[in-house]
Amino acid sequence: MVTDEQRARTLARFAEHREAWRANAALRRLYADWYGRIRACLPDPALGPAVELGSGPGFAREFIPELRLSDVVRAPWHDLEISADALPFPDASLGAVVLFDVLHHLAAPAAFFAEAERVLRPGGRVIMCEPYVSPLSFPVYRWLHEEPLELGVDPFAAQVSPAGGKDPFDSNQAVPTLMFSRATARAAFGARFPRLRVVSVVRLAGISYPASGGFSRRPLLPAPLWRALLHAESLLPEWVFRVCGFRVLIVVERRP
């Protein structure tokens, strides 16, 4: 249950992010690439509707207009107000569920994936773009980012705040890496959710991401230098980002 105070704070945060988005061309360029990758992973629309959870400021509308947007706190650009651990959809009714920077905020990740098993049609997908903890990104996420990073946790355990419940912006940036970065972790995921299979785990986004300034500061490089950096990263093989990546794209599919 979201309190009135949390609701007001969340809506204010959405507004701040929308303003930062308008002011930061580098950030918009990165999101265009990431949402383009997500769109390429969506199954055939005939399989069923696609819903984004935790749509927040609503950036997906610009890149994947057919997505139904939702959040635990509804803003005017959202289609639905829903919680990830209690999806209001019939069994086997959706073609895709998209999470962009949402998995590491969930209070109950295991409850979400159980719901995903239930609501996805066979061949339907969960597509997630999340933080990735690499040797290079670790110190940035651990000491320079406002969200916490705790590697020594069970990523499937329910998370609660000291006051009880969970604020929508509580998080642990390590959760996606702990769940999906290693073969043993993916095997453990498959054992918990036998109707889901991990299709792909792609690391991406080197230092161009923190150099963009994100939502909290201006870009750290002049625009031409930043664009050159982004282009150079586009030429690198995927394995390089296991060492220097800041993001990961994860695709999980409902088995036939």
| Three-class DSSP category at 227 | helix
pLDDT in tens, 33-46: 999 999 999 999 99
**pLDDT of the residue at 162:** 43
Structure tokens at 105: 């905020």
pLDDT for residue 160: 59
If you average pLDDT over residues 61-85, what whole number do you get? 96
Identify the band that residue 229 occupies on the pLDDT scale cut at 50, 70 and 90: very high
pLDDT digits (tens, 9 = 90+) for 148-198: 999 999 999 887 554 445 566 788 999 999 999 999 999 999 999 999 999
Other Cβ atoms less than 10 A from the Cβ of 19: the count is 12
pLDDT at 98: 98
Residue 51: alpha-carbon gap to chain centroid? 13
List of domains in the chain: 4-254 (3.40.50.150)
Residue 154 Cα distances to 29, 38, 128, 159, 175, angstroms: 34, 27, 19, 10, 8
Which pLDDT belongs to residue 166? 57
Structure token digits, residue 16:
């701040």
Identity at 175, one-letter amino acid code: V
Mean pLDDT of the chain: 94
Give dist(CA 176, CA 126) in Å, integer.
13
Contacts of 6 (CB under 8 A, 6+ apart): 73, 167, 168
The pLDDT tens digits of the residues spanning 107-122 come to 999 999 999 999 999 9
Q: Using CA atoms, how far apart are residues 254 and 198, in angstroms rounded to an integer?
A: 9
Q: What is the mean pLDDT of residues 212-221?
A: 92
Give the pLDDT score at 146: 85
